[in-house]
Amino acid sequence: SIKEQTYIMVKPDGVQRGLVGEIIARFEKRGFKLVAMKLVHATPEHLEKHYADLKGKPFFPGLIKYMASGPVVGMVWEGLDAVKTGRAMLGATNPLASSPGTIRGDYALAVGRNICHGSDAVESAKKEIALWFPEGIIQYTNTNEGWIFE
Ligand code: DAT
Ligand code: MG
């Protein structure tokens, strides 16, 4: 659906390394519509909810500490097949396995410092959007739409 939404987040290392604009630019240029965005220094409790599925993994404590170490930029992007396409634009979880041309494949080397997050399914996107944007997303018309979709 062209109304599919995904939660994309620049992690603390991406913010520190000045990659916020670069990551936004890729989603903008691809034709996705920005429907929510905020800079937030998340608490460990909030991040534990975001990563609830990974609780119990050996890297979980380190992941939460890293994610809470500085502000992140959370965004909701909308467009055709946004979840799957967003994941493809991010690249593989381990940047060493990410193709050049992907965000992780161009800017990261370590799995624990992979600079960005993207929802892995429509259902998890819905949960993540509700967690990070309880106030809701922004409804507006993008007048470019007729040039992006048939
Ligand atoms: P993704 O972020 O690609 O959805 P995930 O949901 O499996 O991957 O894991 C969430 C984050 O946890 C991932 O971006 C980086 C970290 N992580 C995953 N596997 C890891 C590992 N084996 N060692 C260290 N960090 C890991
Ligand atoms: Mg994941």
32 is in an annotated binding site: no
Summarised one tens digit per residue, pLDDT across range 97-131 is 999 999 999 999 999 999 999 999 999 999 999 99
pTM above 0.95, yes or no: yes
Catalytic residue among 41, 46, 50, 117: 117
Neighbours of 50 (CB within 10 A): 21
The residue whose C-alpha atom lies closest to atom 5 belonging to ligand 1 is: 93
Q: What is the DSSP letter of 111?
A: G
pLDDT score recorded for residue 37: 98
Q: Is the CB of 21 under 6 A from ligand 1?
A: no
Helix axes 122-132, 82-90, angle to 10 degrees: 80
The residue whose C-alpha atom lies closest to atom 24 belonging to ligand 1 is: 112
Neighbours of 96 (CB within 10 A): 11
For residue 46, indicate whether it is catalytic: no
Summarised one tens digit per residue, pLDDT across range 48-63 is 999 999 999 999 999 9
